[in-house]
Amino acid sequence: MTKATEALLTVFAISSIYFGIYAKVIPTPEIFYNEILPFLPLWAIVSLGAYSLAVLGYRVLTFKDKPEKYKELLGQIDEAKAFYKSKGIDLDE
């Protein structure tokens, strides 16, 4: 099963539970139904964005930088550019 199929299955399962609660097939307390349920999808999107931002921020914070690795990366980029130019593909600059 591919990652995409797995993700789609998860989304489908969770949204089916959500629609079950929304259509009152699954009984819930009144205050939960009126006050919280309408906000849940948007809350999921907001927390996904916050989680992504947090993971990015943490990885930027704990990045171990080394100057020689930077030079090595620059050398690899130049090597790749020369390779493509030799093969005839023009990379715009």
Partner 1 sequence: MLDQLVGLSMLGVATVVFTYYSTWVFILPFVNDSNIINQFFLPRQYAIIIPLLLLLIGGVGVASFIANVMIKEAQKKKLKSKKD
When asked if residue 59 is in the footprint of partner 1 (CB under 8 A), the reply is yes
Contact predicate 48/58, CB 8 Å: no
The two three-digit tokens of residue 33, written as one number: 């139904």
Long-range contacts from 17-22, C-beta under 8 angstroms, 24+ separation: none
Q: Least Å distance between CB 34 and partner 1?
A: 8
- Distance, in Å, from the CA atom of 81 to the CA atom of 79, rounded to the nearest integer, reads 5
Count of CA atoms in the C-beta half-sphere (13 A) of 17: 9
Tell me whether residue 1 or residue 60 sits nearer to partner 1 (CB atom). 60
Tell me whether residue 19 or residue 51 sits nearer to partner 1 (CB atom). 51
The two three-digit tokens of residue 17, written as one number: 């539970």
When asked if residue 36 is in the footprint of partner 1 (CB under 8 A), the reply is yes
Candidates 8-16, 17-25, 38-46, 80-88: pick the segment binding partner 1 (CB under 8 A): 38-46
When asked if residue 39 is in the footprint of partner 1 (CB under 8 A), the reply is yes
State the residues that interact with partner 1 by CB under 8 A: 31, 35-36, 38-40, 42-43, 45-47, 49-51, 53-54, 56-63, 92
